[in-house]
Amino acid sequence: MKETNDQQFKKETNQGLVLIDFWAPWCGPCRMQAPILESLEAEMGDKVSIFKLNVDDNPITAGELGVMSIPTLLIKKDGRVMDKLVGVHSKEALVKTLNEFS
């Protein structure tokens, strides 16, 4: 998974299907979601780009997108927000959701 930040976010997430993980190092559920996303990337990396955005270090983007709780997973397609998932989600649920937009 690639890390992104407030400065690069729009440029890096404006093309194709993208999943962005809004997280923080101190967040237990975020640490539970991370290996699921790594497995998802191994399985679907050719169809979706996966990014992580640390909300503590990058509050501007999180604020602009209304991220109030973490982990929040945002799905974008060609720059448009398609879905917002709050909390920990299984790989199966994420595959199903992403396939709706691919």
What CATH number does the domain containing 46 carry?
3.40.30.10
Confidence of residue 86 (pLDDT cuts 50, 70, 90): very high
Nearest to 60 by CA among 19, 10, 1: 10
* 45-57 pLDDT per residue, tens: 999 999 999 999 9
Residue 11 has pLDDT above 90, yes or no: yes
User: Exposed/middle/buried for 33, CB within 10 Å: 0-12, 13-18, 19+?
Assistant: buried
CB 74 within 8 A of CB 19: yes
Q: Which residues are catalytic?
A: 27, 30
Which amino acid, residue 29? P
Total domains, the chain: 1
Q: What is the domain range of residue 63?
A: 2-101
pTM exceeds cut of 0.85: yes
